[in-house]
Amino acid sequence: MIRIAITQPDIRPYRVPVYNLLASQPDIEVTVFADLAKDAPNPEKEDIRFRFEPATTDPKPLGPLPFVTHSAHHQVNDPAKFDFVIHSWNPHYRSLRPALKQAKKLGIPTLVWGHGYSKRDSWFRTMLRNWVARPADGILLYTHPIAQRMIDKYGFDAERVFVAQNAIDQTPIQAAREAWLADPERLAQFQAEHELVPGRTVVFVSRLLDENRPDRLVRAIDGLRHDYDDCKLVIVGDGPERPKLEALAEQLNVADRVIFTGAIYDEYQMAPWLLSSGVFCYPENVGLSLLTAFGFGLPAVTSDNIEAQNPEVVALQHGKNGLLYPYGNEQAMIDALGSVLGNDEFRESLAAEALRTVTEEFTLATMVQGFLDATRLVDGKTRKVVLP
């Protein structure tokens, strides 16, 4: 039995299936130390099949630098309770490096789990992040390219670098998708009610934040309407930018082409909007919602500035399941959307590959396998994920 402790800033519903699958593996026991999320729904107690221990992060600034401490960093360093500790790899944790060094003295193998880069990186941030991680026995990353960079550029031991490709549980997405597709009359009624033409609808799913550049989508619909008179934009989500976006739509005279649904978290309620769309577009900073869109069989369009994106962007293969446009070039984004909306055969090919990507490659099993690969730091054994 390997008793694993995982420390995280908070617990998110999308991460629970990962922990559940990890905890279901033979001879694996999982305890997660985290706070409840303050800006998103929290998982239901009955959905959690691992041990959950409340923990907090507390501000501990160092001058102008916004450092914090995690209440469980040292708590998990108990050989009587845990055989392996996985920490969130955040250089802002003042308590992380001391906890890693303490664990090493106690003989507890440790792993730091994170991006391995920052979207606003600098030499100082890179140096600090890598310095914090050095006492750990291994690092766990979301993508193979970043893992290779850590080995080639920063000298991390290849035998101690692991990859857990980020994934979400596709089960509820596929159930919702199949339920709606099994009732074409109801879906057609939904589309008629909202005046949506599937091959002419662009959808965005996320928080309405300036860093995601949803304003580009509103301007894109203004540009697309000249070639596609029936095109519309569906914005699924809410946030501080919504009033500005609504005002922009009015200013450009496209308010009748832009639908704001508000935040939707339930996959069944989200399904008809995505199944009534032809392409998913996330101008910048794309993340997990890409995997949601792929799950509904939607090709995606986002920018080619990979370093400015979240790790999930590696799931997008240009020309296969989506398109990348040159960073900052709005006209190129409009052209990319037009090439998908205007070519049914191309769109259907991208859509099929998008669905395959998340049902065969970016899966919970693949992600959990990355964690299991890292358990060899404990006992040297190779483990393969077992699906329930």
In a domain, 263, yes or no: yes
> Residue 198: pLDDT above 90?
no
Single-letter residue type at 152: D
CATH number at residue 114: 3.40.50.2000
Same domain, 196 and 333: yes
Q: Is 294 helix (H, G, I), strand (E, B) or coil?
A: helix
- Candidate from 18-22, 61-65, 143-147, 197-201 with smallest mean pLDDT: 61-65
Structure tokens at 307: 């370093």
Inter-residue contact 322 to 354 (CB < 8 Å):
yes
The reply to whether 159 and 178 lie within a common domain is: no
Task: Name the amino acid, one letter, at 366.
Answer: T
**Residues 53, 195 share a domain:** no
How far is residue 243's CA from residue 264's CA, in Å, rounded to a whole number?
18
- Burial class from Cβ neighbours inside 10 Å (0-12, 13-18, 19+) for residue 303 reads buried
**Within a domain: residue 371?**
yes
Say what percent of the chain tops pLDDT 90. 91
Sign of the alpha-carbon dihedral angle for 236, 356, 13, 88: negative
Chain segment 294-345, per-residue pLDDT in tens: 999 999 999 999 888 999 999 999 999 999 999 999 999 999 999 999 999 9
Q: Is residue 279 part of a domain?
A: yes
Q: What is the pLDDT of residues 266-290, one digit of tens each?
A: 999 999 999 999 999 999 999 999 9
Same domain, 159 and 235: no
Whether 202 is covered by a domain: the verdict is yes
User: Is the residue at 388 inside a domain?
Assistant: no
Q: How far apart are CA 304 and CA 270, in angstroms?
A: 27
| CA distance linking residue 319 with residue 350, whole number of Å | 7
Residues 186 and 314 grouped into a single domain? yes
Q: Does residue 10 surpass a pLDDT of 80?
A: yes
Residue 357: the pLDDT is 98
> What's the domain range around 116?
2-167+363-379
For 322, how many CA atoms within 13 A lie in the half-sphere containing its CB?
A: 30
Pairing between β-strand 2-11 and β-strand 84-88 as defined by DSSP bridges = parallel
Q: How far is CA 168 from CA 44, 69, 288, 381, 387, in A?
A: 17, 28, 8, 27, 15
- What φ, ψ does residue 143 adopt, rounded to 5°? -135, 150
Instruction: Report yes or no on 385 lying in a domain.
Output: no
* In contact, 93 and 67? CB cutoff 8 Å: yes
Return d(Cα 195, Cα 388) in angstroms, integer.
Answer: 42
| Residue 387 forms part of a structural domain | no
Number of domains comprising the chain:
2
Tens digit of each residue's pLDDT (9 = 90 or more) over 33-45: 999 888 777 888 8
pLDDT confidence of residue 37? 82
